[in-house]
Chains A and B, each alone.
Chain A
Amino acid sequence: MTNEVSPPVPLASSQTSGRMARFSEFWFYFSVNKGAVIGFAVLVLLVLIAIFGPLIAPHAPYQQYRDALLTPPSWQVGGKEQFLLGTDAVGRDLLSRLIYGARYSLFIGLIVVTFAMITGVILGVLAGYFRGWVDTLIMRIMDIILAFPPLLLALVLVAILGPGLFNAMIAIALVLQPHFARLTRAAVMSEKNREYVIASKLAGAGHLRLMFKTILPNCLAPLIVQGTLSFSNAILEAAALGFLGMGAQPPTPEWGTMLAEAREFILRAWWVVTFPGLAILITVLAINLVGDGLRDALDPKLKRS
């Protein structure tokens, strides 16, 4: 479920120096934005928590303590030492569920963004490269998708496909995908007439090579930015769908679903709604900050030089 980052392949010395120079330049611009650095730190922490969840979590997420229903956080009157953030209505430890929930949220974000990005980029490249009727067809479909309020469309799709975490992810990916298609199309159109593309064409490169090997790598910067922003969007919408009972189904410790379960206790036990809500807020905020930082660092128009 969680992917380990593969160790860097050993590189030739000149190659590494090029990469290093690039990275140091990137980091220079990225670190100018303090918010982005903080966001990045929080995000790294979240990823670590998600990866090592089973080791950190004090309890199992589904374990019910029948004698400790709705226990307040440990620092409040009536709180218990063993339940740091208290327990929910059926006696499950809130902290443990939040830790496992981080896995779900990051997993949702990753899958949704990957899926939306791959389809969106392919459609966008095709539209931007060939123009003409291909472009019209693809972009009008994208326009139709964009014309619906995103959450409503996702709800409709889930209603058709049936509720569940996986279907919710497909629905959200479909809703987010036009943004990638549009962005890619615009970038491809501006790169397509550059001289290096013509030079590659003259060297005999075919359509596929031109589209995906020559042009696409030069369009990645805005896509990476859009990817991070969509990541937080996906988490938010998955939570919303979960809250509406259309996403992950109980007892899955997904943050939105946890919120939904806790709805009726909102006045009696503030912690059961506050902590999942805070978790969503912090995650989305951190990713958005990183996204902004990436935009500053990668967008050549904002670079002063």
Chain B
Amino acid sequence: MALLEIKNLSVGFDTNAGLFMAVQGIDLSVDNREVLAIVGESGSGKSVAMLAVMGLLPKTATVTADSMTFDGHNMLTMTGKQRREIVGRDVAMIFQEPMASLNPCFTVGFQLEEVLRFHMKMDGPTRRKRAIELFKQVGIPSPEERLNSFPHQMSGGQCQRVMIAIAIACNPKLLIADEPTTALDVTIQKQILDLLVSLQVKHGMGLIMITHDMGVVAETADRVIVQYKGRKMEEADVLSLFESPKSPYTRALLSALPENATGDRLSTVADFMKNEAANAGVAP
């Protein structure tokens, strides 16, 4: 059975312009030891689906699904307390802005140990040992000293490593990474992606990469879901997606990559959308 399985998920938001559907009827499943990438542009609802799973959406959102199970638990009928126990321990999430995800008032060591205390009920010395071990795992040099640093004393890449350490502190079964490298430089991005994938292999986690960057997909994913305006356009394993994309949207997206440029000008997704509009005119 899949680790996380979602059927027909829809998320709507109440706005002053009426109900806005951010996600419409998405099916999704992730296995242990699998890297699933969800690709889409801004407004495609790629983050919203995962926030719905984590129960992190604001009150104005309405979430409906036929089923949503994680590791055998039905996430739809779960109480808030049960969900909080699972979120953070079995499912962990890292975000785009590492600096903003860490509390600037506390040392990174304190924030890491807080998670260990809350979810793993460890005592002081064990926590310290585990924290140092985690920092070593995510490749932070001289972990003993770094634990006492404040977030502003570290670089963006270092902060993202701390976030990853916090995320994997409780050996989660599923790690959700929401644009984990968008705010980072290319060289740092490479290091963080390599780290994520190696941790995923080592711990046998499921990993969901939410990204807009086809390069990141190519470098990490096993399987890919392409999303556009809240709908799933295509789901395929990474090789066949890049080799022979089925959906016209994916094809358009790939040909818009500057490295795939043929001739003087790039082909754009607008061309795709024009075609789509034309098709919609013909077929209902």
Binding site for B on A (CB under 8 A): 24-25, 28-29, 304
> What are 6 of the A-B contact pairs (CB < 8 Å)?
A24-B16, A25-B16, A28-B16, A29-B16, A304-B58, A304-B60
B-side contacts of A304, CB under 8 Å? 58, 60
Q: How long is the Cα–Cα vector from A25 to B58 in the complex, in angstroms?
A: 19
A-side contacts of B16, CB under 8 Å? 24-25, 28-29
Give the Cβ gap from B61 to chain A, nearest Cβ, in Å.
11
Q: How long is the Cα–Cα vector from A26 to B16 in the complex, in angstroms?
A: 10
Give the Cβ gap from B141 to chain A, nearest Cβ, in Å.
35
Q: How long is the Cα–Cα vector from A28 to B60 in the complex, in angstroms?
A: 14
B interface majority secondary structure: loop
Binding site for A on B (CB under 8 A): 16, 58, 60
B-side contacts of A29, CB under 8 Å? 16
Q: How long is the Cα–Cα vector from A29 to B15 in the complex, in angstroms?
A: 10
Give the Cβ gap from B20 to chain A, nearest Cβ, in Å.
11
The chain A residue sitting closest to B13, CB to CB, is A305
Q: How long is the Cα–Cα vector from A25 to B17 in the complex, in angstroms?
A: 9
A-side contacts of B60, CB under 8 Å? 304
Closest 6 A-B residue pairs measured CB to CB? A28-B16, A25-B16, A304-B58, A24-B16, A304-B60, A29-B16
A-side contacts of B58, CB under 8 Å? 304
B-side contacts of A24, CB under 8 Å? 16
Q: How long is the Cα–Cα vector from A119 to B58 in the complex, in angstroms?
A: 42
Give the Cβ gap from A304 to chain B, nearest Cβ, in Å.
6
The chain B residue sitting closest to A21, CB to CB, is B17
Give the Cβ gap from B37 to chain A, nearest Cβ, in Å.
27
The chain A residue sitting closest to B59, CB to CB, is A304
Give the Cβ gap from A20 to chain B, nearest Cβ, in Å.
12
Give the Cβ gap from B19 to chain A, nearest Cβ, in Å.
14
Give the Cβ gap from B154 to chain A, nearest Cβ, in Å.
25
Q: How long is the Cα–Cα vector from A304 to B58 in the complex, in angstroms?
A: 9
Give the Cβ gap from B18 to chain A, nearest Cβ, in Å.
11
Q: How long is the Cα–Cα vector from A250 to B24 in the complex, in angstroms?
A: 70
B-side contacts of A25, CB under 8 Å? 16
The chain B residue sitting closest to A304, CB to CB, is B58
Q: How long is the Cα–Cα vector from A158 to B60 in the complex, in angstroms?
A: 53
The chain A residue sitting closest to B16, CB to CB, is A28
Q: How long is the Cα–Cα vector from A203 to B124 in the complex, in angstroms?
A: 60
The chain A residue sitting closest to B58, CB to CB, is A304
The chain B residue sitting closest to A29, CB to CB, is B16
Q: How long is the Cα–Cα vector from A24 to B16 in the complex, in angstroms?
A: 8
The chain A residue sitting closest to B15, CB to CB, is A305
Q: How long is the Cα–Cα vector from A25 to B60 in the complex, in angstroms?
A: 16
Q: How long is the Cα–Cα vector from A298 to B6 in the complex, in angstroms?
A: 39
Give the Cβ gap from B200 to chain A, nearest Cβ, in Å.
34
Q: How long is the Cα–Cα vector from A101 to B94 in the complex, in angstroms?
A: 61
Q: How long is the Cα–Cα vector from A29 to B16 in the complex, in angstroms?
A: 9
